[in-house]
Amino acid sequence: MSCKVVTITSGKGGVGKTTTTANLGVALAQLGKKVVMIDADIGLRNLDIVMGLESRIVYDLVDLVEGRAKLRQAMIRHKQFPDLFLIPSAQSRDKMAVSPADMVQITDQLRLEMDFVLIDSPAGIERGFRNAVAPADEILIVTNPEVSAVRDADRIIGLLEASKKSQPRLILNRVKADMVKKGEMLSPEDVVDLLSIKLIGIVPEDENVVPSSNAGEPVTMMANSRAGAAYKEIARRLTGEDVPLTSIEEKQGFMKRMSRLFGGK
C-alpha cells in the first residue's frame, strides 16, 4: 500500500489537533499500519507528552532538518506498538527553523517505508501551518461546534482552496449531543452548512481525554471510551474503508441527519 501523508490542522488553537493526531496514530497502529507522527509545532511541542514519550527524546525535528541526526535516530518507537513512531518537535527554536521544502524532503524519505505519516500542525495561518500542509496528500481540519473555532476553520479552508490543496475533510470534535438537542450548541449540520466540506468524523466530548493526556496514553488505548471509538472509525475511513455512522446518539432523528452529512446513505 502506498504511503499517505495526512496533516491535521485547524486554525484555532486548543480544538484537539494534538489529541486527534495521537489517537489516530494509535488507531491506525491498532489496524496494523506503519505510522509516523510528526509534531510540527516548533517551540511549543505537545505530541510527545500526550503520547507519553517525552522522557525518550534524544533528537528532534530540527536536529533532523539541520543534519545532526539521521531519520531513524529522530524516530521514537512506541513500546506497545512497534510500528508506531514519533518525530518530536524542538522546544527551544521557532517556526523559521524548518521550511516547507524541509518537510517535503523528510516525508519523501518516510514514504518509502511507512503506510501513514501524520503531521500535527500548530495553530495559526503562518509559517508553522504552511510547513505542516506542504507535504500533505490529505488534510483534516479539526474544529469544535463553537463560533470562533468554525470561523477560523473557514479561514483555513479558504487558504487551502486558494493554494489548490485537495479538499480537506472535517473532524467535529467535542460534541455534546444533549446540548445540541437543546439548541445550546452548534449542531454538526450548522457547522457543515457553513464550512461546506465533507465530514470524516464526529468525536463526542469525553471526560477520559484529559486524564489520558496526563498519563501519556491516548484514549483510543482504553477499552470503552466514546472518543476512542470515534477515532477508530475515523482511522478506518482514512484507510479508505466505507464506515457507516455508528450511534453516538440513540435518537433516530439525530442519526438520520448525521448520515446525510457523510455524503451518503
Partner 1 sequence: MQEQAIIIKGFRDGLLVTLDPNEVWQELVDHLANRIDENSTFYTSGGGRVTLDVGARPVTRHELGSINAMLDRRGLMLVSVMTESSTTLDAAAALDVRANLTNQAVTPASAAKEIEISSEEDGSSGVMIRKTLRGGRTVRSQGHVVIWGDVNPGAEIIAAGDIIVWGRLRGNVHAGANGDESAIVCALDMMPTQLRIGGYITVAPADNRRKPRPETAFIRNRQIVVEAWK
Which part of the chain contacts partner 1 (CB under 8 A), choosing from 1-9, 151-159, 199-207, 235-243? Answer: 151-159
When binding is defined by CB under 8 A, the residue of 44, 49, 159, 222 that contacts partner 1 is 159
Which part of the chain contacts partner 1 (CB under 8 A), choosing from 84-92, 156-164, 168-176, 219-227? Answer: 156-164
- Give the contact letters, 99-118, x = binds to partner 1 (CB under 8 A), - = no: xxx-----------------
d(CA 220, CA 194): 30
126 binds partner 1 (CB under 8 A): yes
Nearer to partner 1, 76 or 150 (CB): 150
Closest CA to 119 of 11, 36, 228, 58: 36
- Give the contact letters, 67-86, x = binds to partner 1 (CB under 8 A), - = no: --------------------
C-alpha cell belonging to residue 2: 502506498
Closest CA to 119 of 32, 7, 23: 7
Q: Within positions 127 to 146, which residues make up the interface with partner 1, using CB under 8 A?
A: 127, 130
Rounded to the nearest 5°, which phi and psi values hold at 256? -60, -45
Nearer to partner 1, 130 or 237 (CB): 130
Which part of the chain contacts partner 1 (CB under 8 A), choosing from 34-42, 70-78, 154-162, 226-234? Answer: 154-162
When binding is defined by CB under 8 A, the residue of 44, 194, 243, 255 that contacts partner 1 is 194
Which residues, 6+ apart, have CB-to-CB distance to 227 below 8 Å? 23, 203, 204, 205, 206, 208, 209, 219, 220
The order of strands in the sheet holding 35-39 is 76-77, 84-87, 35-39, 116-120, 4-9, 138-143, 169-175, 199-204
43 binds partner 1 (CB under 8 A): no
When binding is defined by CB under 8 A, the residue of 162, 223, 252, 264 that contacts partner 1 is 162
Minimum distance between the CB of residue 244 and partner 1, rounded to whole angstroms? 29
Which residues, 6+ apart, have CB-to-CB distance to 116 below 8 Å? 3, 4, 5, 6, 28, 33, 34, 35, 36, 238
Sign of CA dihedral 58, 61, 63, 64: positive
Minimum distance between the CB of residue 235 and partner 1, rounded to whole angstroms? 28
Which residues, 6+ apart, have CB-to-CB distance to 223 below 8 Å? none
Minimum distance between the CB of residue 101 and partner 1, rounded to whole angstroms? 6
When binding is defined by CB under 8 A, the residue of 66, 77, 82, 96 that contacts partner 1 is 96
When binding is defined by CB under 8 A, the residue of 13, 14, 82, 158 that contacts partner 1 is 158
C-alpha cell belonging to residue 84: 508506531
> Grid cell 509516523 — which residue?
36
Site residues (vs partner 1, CB under 8 A): 96, 99-101, 126-127, 130, 151-152, 154-155, 157-159, 161-163, 194, 196
